[in-house]
Amino acid sequence: MANALLNIVQKELKEMFRDPRLLIGMILVPLLIFPVMGSVIRVSMEATEASVTSVSAGFMSRDASDGNGTMAVYLYSYLEASGIHLRNTSADNLSAALEECRKNGINILIEIPSNFTECIANGSSARVKLYQMLRNYGIGEGAESSVVLSAIDRFNEYIISARLVSIFPDAKPDELLHPVVIEANSVISGEVKEVSPALVITTIMSTSMAMPVVIMILLLMAGQLAATSVAMEKEQKTLEVLLTMPINRMYLLIGKISGVIVLSIIATASYILGFTYYMSTLTSTTGVESARIDLETLGIVPDFQGYFLMLASLFLAFLAVLSLSVLLGAYTKDVRSAQALLGVLYIPILIPTLILMMAPLEILPPGMQVLIYAIPFSYPILATKALYTHEYALLYAGLIYQLVFTFVVLYIASKFFASEKILTAKIELKKKKVMVED
């Protein structure tokens, strides 16, 4: 009878791999959409970066002090040295100065008050005004003014250190500015590592954040595929013919699930490929890569056991979601009803993903922890976290729970497939009724 099972699996695979909607939706789209998204983000980031590296500003000085030594001239030189292209404006009032900037394609105007040098000399705050003409309210505009503001911050530090050096002539200006310096270290598995905890967390988050999302998408897709596939067999009455074949009906169930698993594995590979490319595009653009640390040297390395548990829990989650979806699909009358009913299954898949992405399990209220443990789809997400924490005891218990859950659902599904309910149960969108034909 292994031949009969093989026969069904082969048919499932042929049907799925020849369906252009599935091929495009599950394999080609992930392969293309992520690189396209990455490229689009890269282009916009590069455009933003380009606009930031060539910031221009109008400079309207009302500083009353004369001569080359005024602070306004110092500030002008400092900003120019910081890479900001300044254009002195000859206008004598604000609106004329803004109009001049606008005509010259400059978005920012820096207005130096008349008491600028005097205030700095007296040790009081000089109030410089910055005007930015907002046009598109984009990130690039925000970055433009940030460049000017941070240059002025550095100018402030320059003045402060110049003042302090007169009091502490032997001290280093940088140390004068930072009387307290903190060195944050991470303690990992009892060992002190000279790396900032924030950096470790950021690095792990950037590596592992994507995993739960990918798992969630795959579980949703696999569920959709399995339920649709069974509902399609009912709608087209191919199931009716299959049920009269001299085979164990369990094979129909296993064959359907096996076909979806094979397609899901390929879809997973396609997602991971696409997503990896997407992440690499983002990190190379944003410079996150340079801030990363080598997790291996810190001893935060996923080990074989971690990978095994992740794959095993993912496989069992797949089986659980597929068994439930096949059962849901078999209960419905047609594809449309199956897809509507499948929304019920989306909730337990989305809940653990969203919650665990936001907060670790331990800090959740007890009721919510129980809910997460009760959902069999939580465990692959918990396993991605355990890759770094190496706390596996819970996952082994989870595997047993997933196994029991899957077997129970499979048992119910096989009983359902073996009964006449597979043919007579026809849940429609808004009503449950048994349709009687002839």
Partner 1 sequence: MQAENAVGIKNLVKDYSAKIRAVDNISLDIKQGEIFGLIGPNGAGKTTTLRILATLLKPTSGRVTIFGMDVAKEQKKIRRIISYLPEDAGAYENLTGREYLKFIAGFFEGRKEEMVERGIRICALGERIDSKIKEYSKGMKRRLQIARALMMLPRLAILDEPTSGLDVIHAHYVRNEIKKEIKSSGATAVISSHNLLEVEFLCTRVGLISRGKLVEMGTPEELKKRYNASNLEEVFLAVVKYG
Q: Any contact of residue 4 with partner 1 (CB under 8 A)?
A: yes
Residue 87 dihedral angles phi and psi, to the nearest 5°: -130, 115
CB of 334 to partner 1, least distance (A): 12
- Can you state the angle between helices 2-17 and 249-286, rounded to 10 degrees? 40
The residues, ordered by sequence, that sit 6+ positions from 378 with a Cβ below 8 Å of its Cβ are: 352, 356, 372, 398
Report the DSSP pairing between strands 56-61 and 108-112.
parallel
- Between 150 and 424, name the residue whose CB sits nearer to partner 1: 424
Rule CB under 8 A: say whether 15 interacts with partner 1: yes
Decide: helix, strand or coil at residue 398: helix
Check binding of 2 to partner 1 (CB under 8 A): no
Minimum distance from CB of 9 to partner 1 (Å)?
11
14 forms part of the interface with partner 1 (CB under 8 A): yes
**Three-state SS for 89?**
coil
Q: Is residue 100 within the footprint of partner 1 (CB under 8 A)?
A: no
Segment near partner 1 (CB under 8 A), from 183-191, 200-208, 217-225, 417-425? Answer: 417-425
Q: Other CB atoms closer than 10 Å to residue 53's CB: what's the count? A: 10
Shortest distance, position 232 Cβ to partner 1, whole Å: 9
Q: Which listed residue (121, 134, 241, 412) binds partner 1 by CB under 8 A? A: 241
Instruction: Name 113's Cβ contacts closer than 8 Å, sequence gap at least 6.
Output: 62, 63, 119, 126, 127, 128, 129
For the stretch 91-94, contacts whose Cβ atoms lie closer than 8 Å and that sit 24 or more positions apart, written own/partner, are 91/60, 94/60, 94/131
Write the interaction track for partner 1 spanning residues 186-225; mark x where CB under 8 A is met and - where it is not: ----------------------------------------
Judged by CB under 8 A, does residue 420 bind partner 1?
A: yes
Query: According to the binding rule CB under 8 A, does residue 415 interact with partner 1?
Result: no
383 neighbors 309 (Cβ within 8 angstroms): yes
Is residue 49 involved in binding partner 1 (CB under 8 A)?
A: no
Does residue 423 belong to the site contacting partner 1 (CB under 8 A)?
yes
**Judged by CB under 8 A, how many residues of this single chain contact partner 1?**
27
Distance CA 33, CA 20 (A): 17
Report if residue 434 touches partner 1, rule: CB under 8 A.
yes
Answer yes or no whether residue 393 interacts with partner 1 by CB under 8 A: no
Candidates 8-16, 97-105, 220-228, 259-267: pick the segment binding partner 1 (CB under 8 A): 8-16
Smaller CB separation from partner 1, 180 or 436 = 436
Which of residues 53, 122, 146, 424 is near partner 1 by CB under 8 A? 424
* Helix axis angle, 210-235 to 197-208, nearest 10°: 20
Using the rule CB under 8 A, which residue among 197, 237, 297, 412 binds partner 1? 237
* DSSP 8-state class, residue 10: H
Residue type, 382: L
For residues 255 and 242, what is the distance between their CA atoms, to the nearest angstrom?
12
Instruction: Assign 13 to helix, strand or coil.
Output: helix
Among 213, 247, 266, 361, binds partner 1 (CB under 8 A): 247
Interface residue with partner 1 among 32, 133, 245, 374 (CB under 8 A) is 245
List of residues contacting partner 1 (CB under 8 A): 3-4, 7, 10-11, 14-15, 18-19, 235-238, 240-241, 243-247, 420, 423-424, 434, 436-438
